[in-house]
Structure formats: structure tokens, C-alpha cells
């Protein structure tokens, strides 16, 4: 039987980018915060490894940028693609009005470990690994039921924040209505070793019926091979040799190492979803990040949005949490602030999925370069716009100073 083990001011379910950033910022503001992460550590094969210029800007505002950049990372200052034999550049980060004019590619567990280490500098920061939120304490939401290695406990809280990703248990338990926008794609995720004489580019490659993105991770290529939604059985039926051939057809220079894909265990299926809650909150509860709005991998911007949500939530809620009076209006203010940036980015993702990705996957010959991409390739100044959307998003948030936060 569950027992109330303790009470905190804010209890966050999920130690991903949204939950860890929110936990850190609230602790920095002097608020008692408990972050629950169901896994033992942050080490998972797929976490999405992009740290955007806007997140690096937040690190600068927090006075942590120099320390953060000591963590091993690769810099991407532009995005390129190859459609058939034509190479196109579509985004140029080098003109952004930010301290760092690049996307840092860094294993997300390094980023989350960094936030955890920074959080632990504050006495009110309490991170609990292997703690899984399994239900809400109702009556207005007044806390979470939690599964731990030592049995089930209850944690009381003035505010519960669901940061538990796109399969959020919190939002299900809360019965919040979800609008499912749908998506025509899934992703196969695998790595192949990289040689020093390979191209240094992080790039996307489009051929007849196929699309693959390759991220340069120094000693390996992290590959994202896009397939039609639910198409994994067809890919498997054709067999592993056929899949390897398809990869080589996209990137012939992988021919001598594609055998590193020895079984289907080396290839992970990442199911893609786009959805959003109609209302992100109810009394005592707020959802942010993918728990409020699952993002597609298109553009690689979900982490950015999750972190921006966390900053907005911390800015708006730190005062009411300190005063012990978080109202529904405060929670609604977080949703109001973040709804438009999220909707615009989801709209763009849907357009790209439907107009470009679906068409490519259905094509039997190499598609022509779309005219907007031709324009970007021809007029370099235009590449600043996609760079801004990917690198900074819409309505970038800024961390309040410590005095404002307190």
C-alpha cells in the first residue's frame, strides 16, 4: 500500500530536456522541486542529440556557456541535402543573433547529466532516478503516485508538471483531451562507423522512394532512414541485405561498412507522432514539452521547444510557487505563451511531411529539387530564415536573472 513519503512544492514527472531544465530553473529560484525519472540513468540509444543556438543562448544567460562547451560536441553551422546528384544548402546558422552560431551535436545524456550536475548545486533540487510516475493523487491534483525500487510511494506537491514525453502517463491519468494530428512517417535509427576521410557534412539524402539523414558524430554516422508510417513489416520482409543495399544506394561510401548492421537489433524503429493537448493544465497540474505537444523529428526542433516551454513555465510560475498560490490562470498563462510557437512549428512539420516526405517515399524516380529549395540554394541570404526557425524557433524565451527569479 502507498504511503505519503514526503511533500514538495513542485513535482516533475520525466527527466528529459523539459523536465531537467524546469527542475534546474526552479531550484535556482529557491523552490523545492523533485524531478522523477523512470530510468536508472540518461543513457539511451535515442534521445535526439541537437542542442540549438537558442539553448546555447540560455546557457550564456545562465553564465554556464563556457563550462557547457567543454563537454565534447560537434558543431553544425549549416544544413545541406542531396537530391539525386544535386547538392543543396538549405540553412546557414552563421548569421544568427546569438552567442553561438551553430547547432551543437552532443549525446543528450551528456546534456542531461550537465543539467543534473548544475541542479545539484542548489539545496532544493531533488532528482530521483528509477522513480516512475504511475498515477495522480486526485482532489484537484495534489501529487503523484510513484513506483520506486523499494515499492510504491506518494509524493505530495503544490504543482505537478508532466514532462514525461509523447507517451505521457501523466496526461493520460489526467484525462486531458488530445488532438491527434497524425504523421505519414516512422524512422529507422542506426549507426555506421565514420572514417576520417568521409565528408564532414551532416546532411540529408533524397533518392527515388528513399530518404535518409546522416548526422556526423565524429567516429560514427548516426543515420535516420525514413519509412512510411507502419512500414516496418514490409522493410523486414524484404530482408536485411535489401535494407543494407538501400542504405548503400543512398550513400555509396558506406558500402565497405554497411555490414556493421548485423541484425535487426542494430536498427531501432522510432515511431513518430504529432499531437497536442487542447488544454495543457487542470488544477494543480501542467504538461509541457512532448507531453503537451508531441513533435515530429522534421527539422530537429522538439528539444528546442521542450526547453523553451520549461523556461516560460519557470518564468511564469516561480513567483506563484514561492507564494504558495499557483492558480489555473497562471497555468493557462504558460499555455497561452507557448501555444503559438508550438502550433507554427507543428504546421511547418506537417507541410514538409505531407508535401515533401510523402511525395518522396511514393516516388519511383528521383524527385526534382523543389522550387523553395532551389531559391535557398541560389540566394544564400535566404538560408538565414530556416536557420532562424530551426536554431531559435518562434518567440525564443530568456532566463530571468537570479534576482528576478527569486
Judged by the rule CB under 6 A, the positions of this chain that interact with ligand FAD are 13-19, 36-39, 48, 50, 132-133, 163-165, 169, 187, 270, 272, 289-291, 295, 297, 300-304, 306
Residue nearer to ligand FAD on the CB measure, 352 or 369 = 352
Contact 54, 398 (CB under 8 A): no
Nearer to ligand FAD, 43 or 324 (CB): 43
Of residues 28 and 171, the one with the C-beta less far from ligand FAD? 171
Nearer to ligand FAD, 228 or 319 (CB): 228
Residues whose CB is less than 8 angstroms from the CB of residue 356 and which lie 6 or more positions away in sequence, other chains included: 370
> Minimum distance from CB of 292 to ligand FAD (Å)?
8
Q: Which is nearer to ligand FAD, 122 or 225 (CB)?
A: 225
Strand 33-37 and strand 125-129: the pairing is parallel
Q: In angstroms, rounded to a whole number, what is the distance separating the alpha carbons of residues 145 and 283?
A: 17
Relative to beta strand 33-37, strand 3-13 is parallel
**Nearer Cβ to ligand FAD (151/241):** 151
Cβ-in-10-Å burial (0-12, 13-18, 19+) of 183 comes to buried
d(CA 22, CA 143): 17
Measured between its terminal Cα atoms, the distance across the chain in Å is 38
- In whole angstroms, the minimum distance from the beta carbon of 227 to ligand FAD comes to 11
Closest separation between CB of residue 351 and ligand FAD, Å? 17
| CA proximity to 251, closest of 219, 217, 224 | 224
* Phi and psi torsions of 156, nearest 5°: -80, 145
Residue 147 CB, shortest distance to ligand FAD, in Å, is 8
Residue 386 near residue 95 (C-beta atoms within 8 A)? no
Cβ closest to ligand FAD, residue 119 vs residue 297: 297
Q: Which is nearer to ligand FAD, 39 or 72 (CB)?
A: 39
- Cα(242)–Cα(230) distance, integer angstroms: 18
CB of 364 to ligand FAD, least distance (A): 26
Element of type H or E holding 12 = strand 3-13
Distance CA 201, CA 185 (A): 24
- CA angle 269-388-367, nearest 5°? 55
Nearer to ligand FAD, 84 or 189 (CB): 189
**Distance in angstroms (rounded) separating the CA atoms of residues 358 and 354:** 5
CB of 246 to ligand FAD, least distance (A): 18
**Shortest distance, position 47 Cβ to ligand FAD, whole Å:** 7
List Cβ neighbours of 384 (8 Å cut-off, separation of 6 or more): 92, 95, 96
Minimum distance from CB of 197 to ligand FAD (Å)?
A: 26
- Give the shortest CB-371-to-ligand FAD separation in angstroms: 26
Amino acid at each position: 500500500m502507498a504511503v505519503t513519503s514526503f511533500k514538495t512544492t513542485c513535482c516533475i514527472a520525466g527527466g528529459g530536456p523539459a523536465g531537467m531544465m524546469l527542475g534546474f530553473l526552479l531550484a535556482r529560484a529557491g523552490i523545492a522541486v523533485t524531478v522523477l525519472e523512470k530510468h536508472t540513468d540518461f543513457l539511451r540509444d535515442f534521445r535526439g542529440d541537437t542542442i540549438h543556438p537558442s539553448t546555447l543562448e540560455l546557457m550564456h544567460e545562465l553564465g554556464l556557456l563556457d563550462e557547457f562547451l567543454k563537454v565534447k560536441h560537434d558543431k553544425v553551422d549549416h544544413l545541406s541535402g542531396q537530391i539525386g546528384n544535386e547538392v543543396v544548402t538549405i540553412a546557414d546558422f552563421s548569421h544568427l543573433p546569438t552567442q553561438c552560431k551553430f547547432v551543437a551535436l552532443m549525446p543528450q545524456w551528456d546534456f542531461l547529466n550537465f543539467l543534473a550536475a548544475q541542479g545539484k548545486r542548489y539545496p532544493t533540487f531533488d532528482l530521483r532516478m528509477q522513480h516512475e510516475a504511475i498515477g495522480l493523487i486526485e482532489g484537484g491534483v495534489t501529487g503523484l503516485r510513484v513506483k520506486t525500487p523499494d515499492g510504491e510511494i506518494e509524493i505530495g506537491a503544490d504543482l505537478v508538471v508532466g514532462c514525461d514525453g509523447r507517451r505521457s502517463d501523466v496526461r493520460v491519468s489526467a484525462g486531458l483531451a488530445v488532438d491527434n494530428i497524425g504523421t505519414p512517417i516512422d524512422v529507422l535509427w542506426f549507426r555506421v562507423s565514420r572514417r576520417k576521410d568521409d565528408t564532414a557534412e551532416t546532411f540529408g539524402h533524397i533518392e527515388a522512394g528513399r530518404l535518409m539523414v546522416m548526422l556526423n558524430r565524429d567516429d560514427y554516422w548516426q543515420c535516420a532512414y525514413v519509412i512510411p508510417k507502419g512500414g516496418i513489416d514490409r522493410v523486414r520482409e524484404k530482408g536485411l541485405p535489401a535494407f543494407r543495399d538501400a542504405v548503400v544506394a543512398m550513400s555509396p561510401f558506406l558500402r565497405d561498412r554497411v555490414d556493421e548492421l548485423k541484425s535487426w537489433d542494430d536498427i531501432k524503429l522510432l515511431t513518430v507522432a504529432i499531437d497536442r493537448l487542447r488544454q495543457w493544465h487542470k488544477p494543480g497540474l501542467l504538461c509541457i514539452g512532448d507531453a503537451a505537444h508531441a513533435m515530429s523529428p522534421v527539422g530537429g526542433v522538439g528539444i528546442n521547444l521542450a526547453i523553451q516551454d520549461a523556461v516560460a513555465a519557470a518564468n511564469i510560475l516561480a513567483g506563484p510557487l514561492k507564494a504558495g498560490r499557483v492558480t489555473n490562470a497562471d497555468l493557462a498563462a504558460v499555455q497561452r505563451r507557448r501555444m503559438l510557437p508550438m502550433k507554427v512549428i507543428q504546421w511547418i512539420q506537417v507541410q514538409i511531411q505531407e508535401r515533401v516526405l510523402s511525395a518522396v517515399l511514393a516516388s519511383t524516380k528521383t524527385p526534382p529539387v523543389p522550387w523553395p529549395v532551389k531559391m535557398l540554394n541560389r540566394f544564400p541570404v535566404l538560408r538565414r530564415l530556416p536557420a532562424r526557425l530551426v536554431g531559435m524557433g518562434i518567440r525564443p524565451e530568456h532566463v530571468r536573472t537570479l534576482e528576478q527569479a527569486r
